[in-house]
Amino acid sequence: MTIIKRGLAALAAGALSTALAVPAFAEPVKFDFWFGLSGDLARVVDTLCKNFNASQKDYEVVCTSQGNYDATLQNTIAAFRAGKQPTVVQVYDVGTATMMLSGAYKPADKLMEENGYKIDYSDYFPGIARYYATSKGEMLSFPFNSSTALMYWNKDAFAKIGKTEAPKTWEDVGADLKALKDAGYDCPMAINISANESWQLMEQFSAIHNQPIATKNNGYDGLDARLEVNKTKFVQYVTDLKKWYDAGLIKIKSKDLGQDMVQAFATGTCQLILTSVGDHGTVGRTQKEGMNWDVAELPVYAGTERKNSLVGGASLWVLSGKSDAEYKGAAAFLNFIHDPKTALFWSTNTGYIPVAKSGFDFMKSNGFYDKAPYKGREVAIASLTASEPTEITRGIRLGNFTQIRAEFGTQMQAIFANKVSVQEGLDTLVKNGDAILERFQQTYPGKTLP
């Protein structure tokens, strides 16, 4: 009885104190955050927002998923033109050039400075920071979800051909694929050749081999950059992929055909794929019972000095035309995301990697990378930090790059369907891509990239 009485008394006291406390606080300032992740990842972002709102009383972030990256950018542009833009928006990596020329943002570094937050920008992994920074190194946006491409390999299958390690060079890959085929595997390696795979097949390959995608240091030095993938090592790479495809060593797997390559790998149908570290969790959750697999850095051609791979993902932009109170909230939000503890939460619940060294060290000291299912994801950090970024491996700063990726898909499909030769296809890719770049340049007369 006494316990119940005491409990009731405590409840009453609690209720009273909340009733008294509420009027003492002002309503929190609300601001919008639009993002482009969906499904499981959207739920993680929602939790992140809840955690931020629970961590302090002054601001309340309202997080809304727009479905995907393309839609987020389109909807933000439409909202901006109508004067109803969100305060913070997630924009994917290749939208960076468009954002920089938009004149619609408030530089993130200035925002933090004005609101009294000290961010150590050298704490970001250089491979990540340089991708989003201006040519002078200013951070106009904050890196958020980041990943890079890795090679996933089936240890059981490779054991059958007497290999205990993943192939390090493309020459080895060629030999191993042949051996796997001879050992009775119907699909030694799976790829897809749509616009999305421009990332791992063209962009990551070029960075690791220190090969340019476009002139003017991949566009960092001017809007008059033009593509040049038709005369780099990339030509040899596509030629090899096509050769292996013709020999039945590579199969094309996509959702349209029935099974995408991640599923094909997880079910043990295909033994080797190249995809984002972000799929590490998916493979772990959906893999065939008892299958042994691991990840490794993307291979290079023999004799190549490996450079850092590129970051993929998105960064957070703060848009212009908002009130000071909203900017204060946005700054607090960005500061919250930068916290190493948030990095641990974020990487544990998604496949994304920490963007700052402090976050990475915090996670390492917590033993994050020591055991399954997270073991192996540190390879992504190794790949991103394989070298100090060069002028070319900083990233890609090209206008309307989404359309260039689409053109990549189109030409790869034409090449693999034997409609054109490898060189013809890549020449057309460059020709059509250049037309896109030229158009982008004409749209912004007299403007230069910051």
Q: Which is nearer to another protein, 341 or 419 (CB)?
A: 419
Q: Which is nearer to another protein, 250 or 298 (CB)?
A: 250
**102 forms part of the interface with another protein (CB under 8 A):** yes
Q: What is the 3-class SS of the chain, one letter each residue? A: CHHHHHHHHHHHHHHHHHHHHHHHCCCCEEEEEEECCCCHHHHHHHHHHHHHHHHCCCEEEEEEECCCHHHHHHHHHHHHHCCCCCCEEEEEHHHHHHHHHHCCEECHHHHHHHCCCCCCHHHECHHHHHHHECCCCCECCEEEEEECEEEEEEHHHHHHCCCCCCCCEHHHHHHHHHHHHHCCCCECEEECCCHHHHHHHHHHHHHHCCCCCEHHHHCCCCCCCCECHHHCCHHHHHHHHHHHHHCCCEEECCHHHCCCHHHHHHCCCECEEEEEHHHHHHHHHHCCCCCCEEEECCCECCCCCCCCCCCEEEEEEEECCCCHHHHHHHHHHHHHHHCHHHHHHHHHHCCCECCEHHHHHHHHHCCHHHCCCCCCCHHHHHHHCCCCCCCCCCCCCCCCHHHHHHHHHHHHHHHHCCCCCHHHHHHHHHHHHHHHHHHHHHHCCCCCCC
**423 forms part of the interface with another protein (CB under 8 A):** no
Q: Which is nearer to another protein, 20 or 82 (CB)?
A: 82
**198 forms part of the interface with another protein (CB under 8 A):** no
Would you give the binding string for another protein spanning residues 173-192, x where CB under 8 A is met? --------------------
**Which of 6, 50, 57, 81 is close enough to bind another protein by CB under 8 A?**
81
**Which of 416, 422, 429, 430 is close enough to bind another protein by CB under 8 A?**
416
Specify the stretch interacting with another protein by CB under 8 A; choose among 53-61, 100-108, 306-314, 390-398: 100-108
**108 forms part of the interface with another protein (CB under 8 A):** no
Site for another protein in 356-415 (CB under 8 A): 400, 402-403, 406, 409-411, 413-414
Q: Which is nearer to another protein, 69 or 153 (CB)?
A: 69
**80 forms part of the interface with another protein (CB under 8 A):** yes
**39 forms part of the interface with another protein (CB under 8 A):** no
Chain positions contacting another protein, by CB under 8 A: 70, 73-74, 77, 80-81, 98, 101-104, 194-195, 252, 254-259, 400, 402-403, 406, 409-411, 413-414, 416-417, 419, 432, 435-436, 439, 442-445
